[in-house]
Amino acid sequence: MAKKFPKLSGKLILAPMHEVTNIAFRIMCKKYGASLVSTELLSANALSREATSSLKLALTDKEEKPVVVQLFSQNTDSIVKAAKLLERKFDIIDFNFGCPSKKIMSQGSGGALLKRKNKIGEIVRELTSSVDIPVTVKIRLGVDKKNINVIEVAKICEENGASAIIVHARTVDQGYSGKADWSQIKKVKENVKIPVIGNGDVFSAKDAEKMLGETGCDYIMIGRGSIGNPFIFKQIGEYLKTGKVIEQTKEEKINDYFQYIELTKRFDIFSIKDAKLKAQEFTKGIPGCSKLRQELNKVKTWEEIKKLVELI
């Protein structure tokens, strides 16, 4: 029997994203109103071996709760072992059946699993029966436009104990190109009883309002729209309550960047590479950001990065 998906404080959820949703970024998003946050996509195979690098990515803290760990693999034993290892640290386990990464798909994981309906049922069934916390699934519309099977897959996941379904409204073949087909989220919502979380092409407050209205989804998952912009959660939350769109000042954006860096240092995940990348992401749209990007390529220390960002 499925464990009940928790009642969240709001409608907005942070999507798992590779090299984006580390603990520092998750705490920033939680501060701005994300009701649920997720780790990046983690290998159940590596976690089942207790690989140090993967365990570091599974770091969590009470400040960000409730928090999700997202797993991928096609090995059921590794999935169950990793889930049991992590269930005391996390509030929800999410399993990925949709990642379009060629590397992950070449292993038979992620989006490649959408071709194997029996395997999907097996993974969800074994996972839900092995842990005492809710299990959710993240799926896409199908492998490609000729093989749309999102409703069938959603029903299989529900029947085998999933607590909620996240639908990224693109095919695996699309990657992140083209337009997300929100009508498919609506169809899933009409065909299952568990909560449905809509994902794909929410970059603004009005996008969020439109997705809720058009699909009837229970929650919205925001991915690329939050990169360098954790404030989007406050912006959307405020708009859904009052109809007003609030904006951030240049100073507030820069302050968010420095807060993020402090959190990476606090949790011992700071790196020059990440500091440079996030400097570009957090200052996007600010006058002078193009020049900053060029200058960042020339520097090697945190002190130099800090000075460049302060001068923008």
Residue 99 is among the residues annotated as catalytic for this protein: yes
Place of tokens 């337009």: 179
Place of tokens 């998750």: 26
CA distance 134 to 49: 23
Task: Tell me if 188 sits within 8 A of 238, measured CB to CB.
Answer: no
Q: Quick one: tokens of 23?
A: 């603990």
Q: Catalytic pick from 99, 157, 217, 289?
A: 99
From the centroid of its chain, how far is CA 70? 8
Task: Tell me if 228 sits within 8 A of 28, measured CB to CB.
Answer: no
Q: List beta partners, residue 239.
A: none
Sheet order of strands, 37-43 included: 12-14, 219-222, 196-199, 164-168, 135-140, 92-96, 67-72, 37-43
3-state secondary structure of 288: coil
Task: Enumerate the H helices of the chain as residue ranges.
Answer: 23-31, 44-48, 52-57, 76-86, 102-106, 117-130, 150-159, 182-191, 205-215, 232-242, 250-266, 272-282, 289-296, 302-311
| Residue type (1 letter), 288 | G
Positions marked active-site = 99
